[in-house]
C-alpha cells in the first residue's frame, strides 16, 4: 500500500510542512517532550470518553480491524444496512479517514467526531472535520451534516453512572466546515505532494514564529540557532522577531543596543549582555517584610481527568491528591515538614487530606506558594467540595504570598534564568545542590499520571514505590521554595 495521509498527519502538516515530512519519512527523528506514560494516559482517556459517547447511539456497530480490513468491514456494514457505525473507515486518493460515528440520514450520512475538550477548538477541530468530510465524500459517501460531540463544561458528576446526554454537547459545524473547506482541499493537495518528496526539506517555516508556535522539529531544521536565543526573550514575536531573524541575530547578546525592546525585554537582554545579575535588595526586603511567621511553604499535586472521578466535580477539573508542607516557625527555627497523599480516588481520601491540612496550617502566618493562581483556585474548589472547610480555605487564600512575584517583577534577574520565572529554572541557579534530574518522578504531568494509574486503575502492583516517589517529588517542590527564600532573605 502506498503511503496514506491520515487526519492526524494532515493536522501535523498544518502545524508545519517540514515537521509533517519528517514525521512521515523519519519519525524516529521527531522529538516528543512528553513521556510515553503521559501520552498513553491521554490516549486511554480519549478512548474512555469515546466509549461513553457511543452510548448516545445504542444501535451503533463497531468496525473491526485497521486500514484495508477496516474499510472492507465498513463497506459490508453499509451494505447490510447498519444505521450507525463506529470507526467507519475509508481509503481513497491516498486519504485515510476513520469516523468516530457515522449515522445514516436518509440517503446520506451524518459525520460525528468526539472530542475530549470542553469546546470546539476552531483552529484544530474544524479543519479536522473538513478533512474527514472530504475523505468520505471522495470515497462515495453523501455527507449531509457534520457534528462535533464535546464535553459539557457545566456537567457535574453525581453517582457512579455518567449520563452521556448530560456529559456531552453536540454542536453542528456545517457552516464552519463549508467555510474552511477550500483551504483544506488545497492543503490536502500540498500535503500529498509534500509526502511524495523523497528529499527532506532544507528549512522549517516556523523560523519567523515565536517560541510557543515552533513545531516539534524546529531544532532539527534550524541547527544554526542556539538552544537559548532571541526566541526566548519574553513576548518576542511579530515584526521585532522577524527583524532580528532576517538580520541573522540569534544570540540575545548580539542584539544592537539601539534595538527597540519593552522594559522587561530590556532587562533580560541587558543581564545576558553583562553576565551579571540584577538584584533590587530594597524591593526584595520590602516584599519579604510583609510575611508573617510561621511561614507555610505549600505545594499541591493534582489530576484533571476528562471523566470526573468524584461527585460534585466537572470534566477536567483539577482535583488535589497530594500536598507537601514545609513550616518555618521563626527566622532561626528548625525547618519542619509534613505531607499528605491520597491512596485512592475517593471523596473520603480527599476529605482526609483537607482535614489534615487544616490541622497543619493554623489561622495565622503567611502561606508561601509559587504561582498563586493555581493554589488559590484549588483552595476555592476544595472549599466548595467540602463546605465545612470553606472558611478555612478562604482564610488560607487571604494569607497567600507568591514567591514567584519577586522574579516576575524583575527584582531578581540572573542570566541563568533565561527569561523564565519557573521554579525549575530559578532553582538550579540559586540552589544548585537541589535537583529534579535524579528523581523517579521529576515533572508534574508524570506525577499526575503515575498517581492516576494506581489510584484509578485495577493494577495496584508497585503502588508503594509510586507513592514514595510522589512524596519525594512534591517534597522537593516545597523545599525548593524554602531554599530560594533563604537565598533572598540573606541578600
**pLDDT (tens digit per residue) in 95-104:** 999 999 999 9
Task: Read off the pTM.
Answer: 0.92
Task: Work out the average pLDDT over 326-330.
Answer: 98
Same domain, yes or no: 186 and 319: no
Do residue 292 and residue 436 come from a single domain?
yes
**Cα separation of 90 and 70, whole Å?**
8
Decide if pLDDT at 224 tops 80. Answer: yes
Mean pLDDT along residues 306-332? 96
Q: Is residue 113 part of a domain?
A: yes
Q: Does one domain contain both 49 and 116?
A: yes
Residues 51-63: pLDDT tens digits? 999 999 999 999 9
336, 351: one domain: yes
Domain range for 230 is 224-276
φ, ψ of residue 282 in degrees (nearest 5):
-60, -45
CA nearest neighbour of 96 among 195, 186, 8: 8
Both 191 and 77 in one domain: the answer is: yes
Residue 209 lies in a domain: no
Q: Of 224, 231, 233, 227, which is closest to residue 271 (Cα–Cα)?
A: 233
Any domain includes 15: yes
Whether residue 189 sits in one domain with residue 297:
no
The reported pLDDT for the residue numbered 2 is: 65
Within a domain: 203 = no
**61: CATH:** 3.90.320.10
Mean confidence (pLDDT) of the chain? 95
Decide if 71 contacts 91 (C-beta within 8 A).
yes
Crossing angle (nearest 10°) for helices 7-15 and 125-138:
130
pLDDT at 431: 95
Whether residues 162 and 233 share a domain: the answer is no
DSSP state for residue 249 in the 8-state scheme: -
66 backbone dihedrals φ, ψ, rounded to 5°: -135, 155
Residues 245, 248, 251, 257, CA torsion sign: negative
Q: What share of the chain is helix, strand, coil (3-state, %, to 5)?
A: 50, 15, 35
Q: What angle, 0 to 180 degrees and rounded to 10, lies between the N-to-C axes of helices 17-25 and 7-15?
A: 140
Asked if residue 133 is part of any domain, the answer here is yes
Q: Are residues 183 and 271 in the same domain?
A: no
If asked whether residues 236 and 320 sit together in one domain, one would say: no
Report yes or no on 189 lying in a domain: yes
Q: In the listed set 256, 276, 296, which residue is the last one of a domain according to the structure?
A: 276
Question: Is residue 171 one of the residues assigned to a domain?
Answer: yes
Same domain, 272 and 288: no
Neighbouring CB atoms inside 10 A of 232's CB total 17
Domains identified in the chain, total number: 3
Whether residue 202 lies inside any domain: the answer is no
CA distance 374 to 379: 9
Query: Does residue 108 share a domain with residue 248?
Result: no
DSSP 24-43: HH-GGGS--SS-HHHHHHHH
Mean pLDDT of 141-153: 98
**415: Cα separation from own chain's centroid:** 27
**Cβ 251 vs Cβ 230: under 8 Å:** yes
Domain termination site, one of 176, 196, 216 = 196
Query: Which segments of 196-334 are extended strands (E)?
Result: 278-279, 295-303, 319-328
The answer to whether residues 51 and 176 belong to one domain is yes
Amino acid at each position: 500500500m502506498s503511503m496514506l495521509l491520515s487526519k492526524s498527519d494532515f493536522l501535523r502538516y498544518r502545524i508545519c510542512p517540514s515537521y509533517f515530512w519528517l514525521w512521515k519519512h523519519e519519525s524516529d527523528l521527531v522529538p516528543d517532550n512528553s513521556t510515553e506514560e503521559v501520552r498513553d494516559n491521554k490516549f486511554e482517556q480519549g478512548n474512555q470518553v469515546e466509549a461513553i459517547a457511543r452510548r448516545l447511539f445504542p444501535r451503533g456497530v463497531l468496525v473491526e480491524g485497521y486500514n484495508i480490513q477496516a474499510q472492507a468491514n465498513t463497506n459490508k456494514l453499509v451494505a447490510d444496512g447498519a444505521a450507525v457505525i463506529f470507526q467507519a473507515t475509508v481509503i481513497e486518493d491516498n486519504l485515510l479517514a476513520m469516523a468516530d460515528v457515522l449515522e445514516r440520514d436518509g440517503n446520506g450520512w451524518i459525520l460525528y467526531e468526539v472530542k475530549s475538550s470542553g469546546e470546539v477548538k476552531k483552529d484544530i477541530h474544524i479543519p479536522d472535520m473538513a478533512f474527514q468530510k472530504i475523505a468520505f465524500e471522495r470515497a462515495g459517501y453523501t455527507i449531509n451534516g457534520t457534528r462535533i460531540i464535546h464535553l459539557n463544561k457545566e456537567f457535574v458528576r453525581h453517582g457512579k453512572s455518567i449520563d452521556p446526554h448530560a456529559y456531552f454537547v453536540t454542536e453542528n459545524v456545517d457552516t464552519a466546515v463549508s467555510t474552511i473547506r477550500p483551504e483544506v482541499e488545497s492543503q490536502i493537495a500540498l500535503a500529498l505532494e509534500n509526502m511524495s518528496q523523497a528529499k527532506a526539506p532544507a528549512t522549517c517555516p516556523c523560523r519567523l514564529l515565536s517560541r510557543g508556535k515552533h513545531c516539534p522539529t524546529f531544532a532539527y531544521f534550524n541547527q544554526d540557532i542556539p538552544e537559548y536565543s532571541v526566541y526566548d526573550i519574553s513576548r518576542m514575536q511579530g515584526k521585532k522577531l522577524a527583524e532580528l531573524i532576517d538580520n541573522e541575530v540569534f544570540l540575545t547578546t548580539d542584539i544592537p543596543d539601539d534595538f527597540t525592546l519593552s522594559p522587561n525585554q530590556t532587562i533580560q537582554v541587558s543581564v545576558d549582555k553583562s553576565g551579571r545579575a540584577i538584584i533590587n535588595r530594597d524591593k526584595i526586603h520590602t516584599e519579604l517584610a510583609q510575611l508573617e511567621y510561621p511561614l507555610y511553604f505549600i505545594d499541591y499535586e493534582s489530576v484533571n481527568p476528562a471523566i470526573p472521578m468524584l461527585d460534585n466535580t466537572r470534566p477536567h477539573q483539577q482535583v488535589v491528591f497530594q500536598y507537601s508542607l514545609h513550616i518555618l516557625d521563626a527566622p532561626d527555627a528548625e525547618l519542619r515538614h509534613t505531607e499528605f497523599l491520597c491512596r485512592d480516588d475517593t471523596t473520603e481520601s480527599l476529605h482526609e487530606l483537607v482535614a489534615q491540612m487544616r490541622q497543619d496550617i493554623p489561622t495565622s502566618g503567611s502561606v508561601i506558594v509559587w504561582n498563586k493562581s493555581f493554589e488559590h483556585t484549588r483552595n476555592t474548589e476544595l472549599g466548595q467540595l467540602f463546605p465545612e472547610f470553606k472558611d478555612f480555605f478562604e482564610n488560607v487564600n487571604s494569607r497567600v504570598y507568591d514567591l514567584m512575584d519577586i522574579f516576575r517583577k524583575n527584582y531578581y534577574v540572573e542570566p541563568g534564568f533565561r527569561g523564565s520565572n519557573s521554579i525549575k529554572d530559578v532553582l538550579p541557579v540559586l540552589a544548585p545542590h537541589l535537583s529534579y534530574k535524579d528523581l523517579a518522578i521529576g515533572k508534574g504531568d508524570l506525577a499526575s499520571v503515575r498517581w492516576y494509574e494506581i489510584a484509578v486503575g485495577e493494577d495496584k502492583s508497585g503502588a508503594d514505590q509510586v507513592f514514595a516517589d510522589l512524596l519525594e517529588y512534591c517534597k522537593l517542590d516545597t523545599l525548593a521554595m524554602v531554599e530560594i527564600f533563604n537565598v533572598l532573605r540573606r541578600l
